[in-house]
Amino acid sequence: MAVPWGAVGDLTRRRFAALGDPALVVSAVAAGLLTLLAVIGPWIAPYSPDATDVLSASQGPSAQHLLGTDSLGRDICSRALAGARLSFAGPAMIVLISTVLGTALAIFSAWHGGWVDRMANRFLNVMFSVPGILVAVLSSAVFGAGFWAPVLALGVVYTPYMARVVRSLAIRERHQGYVESLQLATMSSWRIGLRHLTPNVMPIVVAQATYGFGSALADFAAVSFIGLGIQPPEAEWGVMVSDGRSELLNGAIQQTLVAGTLIVITVIAFNVLGAQLSARSGGRR
């Protein structure tokens, strides 16, 4: 089917407008580079992240070790590159779980309305009062430290944030004329929700997921920092910040500084990108 020239023109104008937004461009480039780093990091690391050399322990940056070494003589650059994969994998799973659960709950409650929507709204209000870190800590304490316990716990805790944003938009879409037309055409409720409501709320879903990724990365790193997430000697940014605490008193700040800086930059990049996408998604409606 041919695309109207007016639609092509609108799409082109939006793309050029996006390129003219410095915050959107810079955050998108930074997020893209960091994601690429997480994918290829272990392959481009100059050393094995677990290779120790006690004779080179706690050294500053040099030609052999660009970012220095930790207290065991492990190359910090290699550990940061290799650790990017785990540092991104955890938040990615958290966002995936919360996005699927939150979007499904939002569309279900918006579609049925009435007491179903009221009960869902009350459930979301209760969930908002639950601290994510506390749930992750309790989950790790009960089921054991590692990757999945904090991921599943934080995925559930992040669900209401996604559901609340999507719900308001889904309610608006639910009362659009095309929904009534599809119902008159005897299309089933689940097909309308899956094939029409879901694609129409997808821009705000992507924006909220992007925004949530930064917060999820910070929470996931915090759980590892207190020893209930990823366990040493695995290379992960939260673990690196924790390992670097004992080195600070000796003046070796490089491990904590590198891992902490990467966490801060990643959180800022994804939060700014999510905020910009959210503003644009709201502005187009």
For the chain, give every domain's residue range.
43-54+65-284
Provide the whole-model pTM: 0.86
Q: What is the pLDDT of residues 233-260, one digit of tens each?
A: 899 999 999 999 888 878 889 999 999 9
| Terminal alpha carbon distance of the chain | 24
The arithmetic mean of pLDDT across residues 34-50, rounded, is 94
What's the token pair of residue 262? Answer: 């990467």
207: three-class secondary structure by DSSP: helix
Q: What is the structure's pLDDT at 124?
A: 87
Q: What is the structure's pLDDT at 4?
A: 47
CATH number, domain 43-54+65-284: 1.10.3720.10
Q: Is the peptide bond before 233 cis (omega within 30 degrees of 0)?
A: yes
- Of 34-43, 194-203, 224-233, 264-273, give the lowest mean pLDDT range: 194-203
* Side-chain-side CA neighbours of residue 115 (13 Å): 0
Separation between Cα atoms, residue 53 and residue 73, nearest integer Å: 4
Q: Which of 165, 162, 173 is nearest to 111 (CA)?
A: 173
Higher pLDDT, 92 or 125: 92
What single-letter amino acid sits at 142?
V
Higher pLDDT, 187 or 33: 33
Residues 30, 40 contacting (CB under 8 angstroms): no
Separation between Cα atoms, residue 193 and residue 97, nearest integer Å: 19
Separation between Cα atoms, residue 115 and residue 189, nearest integer Å: 18
Backbone φ, ψ for residue 46 (5° rounding)? -70, -25
Cα-based torsion angle of the residue sequence 203, 85, 101, 145 in order, rounded to the nearest 10 degrees: -160
Radius of gyration in angstroms for the set of CA atoms belonging to the chain, rounded to a whole number: 23
Q: Which residues contact 260 (CB under 8 A, 6 or more apart)?
A: 237, 241
Higher pLDDT, 19 or 190: 190
Separation between Cα atoms, residue 174 and residue 209, nearest integer Å: 22
Q: What is the structure's pLDDT at 261?
A: 96
Instruction: Using alpha carbons only, give the angle 102, 171, 114 rounded to the nearest 5 degrees.
Output: 90
CA 104 vs CA 110, 111, 167, 234: distances in Å: 10, 11, 10, 35
Mean pLDDT of the chain, nearest integer? 85
Separation between Cα atoms, residue 145 and residue 268, nearest integer Å: 27
The arithmetic mean of pLDDT across residues 46-59, rounded, is 90
Residues 77, 46 contacting (CB under 8 angstroms): yes
Can you name the residues that pair with 75 across neighbouring β-strands? 69
Q: What percent of the chain has pLDDT over 70?
A: 88
